[in-house]
Amino acid sequence: MAKSTLKAKRRSTLGKASTRALRREGNIPAVVYSKGNETVPLELNPKDVKNAFATDAGRNTLINIEIEGDDKKEHKLSILRDIQMDYLSNTALHLDFLELDLKEKIEVKIPLVFSGRAQGVKEGGILEEMIREISAICVPADIPDNIEHDVTELELDQGVQIKDLALPDGVVVTGNPEDTVAMVHVPRVMVIEEPTVAEGEEGEEGEEGEEGAEVAEGETPADTDEKAEGSDGEG
């Protein structure tokens, strides 16, 4: 379980105009919500956000948000629930955090990591990672950074299902245990057949040199030409 601290400021003004002004200043609007408590609007520094999530757990890092208000400082242990991105500029537009109760289970996305080189890959196959993360339920303290699976023994046309994964204690998968997360495929090979010449057909060789000119057995092309000239002079 990875933990980080993130400094934040409570926003005093809300609305679209305030949010746009906040972004123009280079900061990120955010909120942290929890059951039974008010949603707290926040202002975050992009560098602080980047540093807070620079752990092996990534988005599953438990974030201790230090909120500076007008008259007091609050602490909220939270986890990132949603992020809106501007993919053209690769910048965050808005972050949603959920305040945690350490005794209450939550649903999280856990990345899958495949280690080793499959036997089927050594034989020319391709390992396809069909599912990169799985949904699971656990208490915050039991959230793993990832779930690793060794694929060394996989042969051609063999796969790994969710039920084959070794899950940490306290982690329960919510997806279908029969779903395939990775598989070694036989690569498709395109076979191009060369055209065949049927028996009795000839190519360019052996064709007549000039249309209508035939050479009799025992004659040469020159003899044929002389006959043609003689016939032209008759009559």
What is the set of domains in the chain, with CATH numbers?
A: 3-99 (2.40.240.10), 106-185 (2.170.120.20)
Q: Write the CB contacts of 24 (distance below 8 Å, at least 6 apart in sequence).
A: none
Q: What is the pLDDT of residue 208?
A: 47
Contacts 24+ apart (CB under 8 A), 140-144: 140/1, 140/62, 140/77, 140/79, 140/100, 140/102, 140/106, 141/1, 141/102, 142/1, 142/168, 142/169, 142/170, 142/171, 143/1, 143/57, 143/60, 143/62, 143/108, 143/110, 143/171, 144/110, 144/168, 144/171
Helices then strands, counting H and E runs in the chain, come out as: 4, 13
Q: Do 97 and 79 contact (CB within 8 A), yes or no?
A: yes
pTM: 0.71
- Return the amino acid letter for 98: L
Q: Do 82 and 95 contact (CB within 8 A), yes or no?
A: yes
Residue by residue, DSSP assigns 130-146 as --SEEEEEE-GGG--S-
pLDDT in tens, 152-199: 999 999 999 999 999 999 999 998 999 999 999 988 764 445 666 655
Alpha-helix residue ranges (DSSP H) falling in the chain: 16-24, 46-52, 119-122, 221-233
Stretches in the chain below the pLDDT threshold 70? 70, 189-235
Q: What is the pLDDT of residue 206?
A: 47
Q: Do 67 and 74 contact (CB within 8 A), yes or no?
A: yes
Residue with tokens 């807070």: 52
Q: What is the pLDDT of residue 195?
A: 65
> What is the Cα gyration radius of the chain?
37
Q: Cα torsion at 217, 222, 228, 234 (round to 10°)?
A: -110
Q: What is the pLDDT of residue 193?
A: 57
